[in-house]
Amino acid sequence: MTRIQARRQLIVIVLLCVAVGGALLRQFAPPASMLRDIGTLLMLLWLPVIGNIVAWLVAKVRRPVPAGPAGLSGPSGSSRQSPAVFGAAGSFRPHAWVELTLREAKLPIEDTPIAAGEHHCALVVGNDGFTARWLVRPDDIVRRGKAHALQVEFLTPAVALPRFQRDATFRMLVGGAFIGDGRVLEVLGPA
């Protein structure tokens, strides 16, 4: 349990005790007295906690099953792109060679090499975005702020490739943030 979860649990227990104390005060106070009104107010302190518990339960029921560990983390630290729309990582079929420069990290803790594996993103040309994935091989070191030649596979190459001709420039979108810029080096064609 994290420190925040422990604090929240403590707050819920304290508010429950206050509500029980208010119920006891209300029970033993004479009718139409100020003590009875204070007991009622203390019991009402529990209502926001009940609302939060109901909201937590609803979110727990609606929460989708988390996807596997794929995708490049955005500024918030999580990848929002689902890897389920592409084939398996072993079925990677590149459609283009691109020169990609990931924007430099704003925090020193984020200034680490990109993890080896498959990364999902949207490549944006003008106002059009195209779902894509790219691989960082275990022996490659991809750092932010430096240009790297990488292979890219598009989800719909027939739609994307006409916009990604040689020397076309694009931006990389992950989550809700643009995290890189690039240029097409060579079009390999639909696989």
DSSP assignment of 68-104, as one string?
PS-S---TTS---S-GGGS--GGG----EEEEEEEPP
Q: Give the H/E segment covering residue 130.
A: strand 128-136
Q: What is the pLDDT of residues 64-76, one digit of tens each?
A: 654 433 444 444 3
Confidence of residue 99 (pLDDT cuts 50, 70, 90): very high
For 18, 88, 150, 178, the CA distances from 135, given in Å and listed in that order, are 56, 12, 7, 19
What pLDDT score was predicted for residue 28? 93
Give the pTM: 0.54
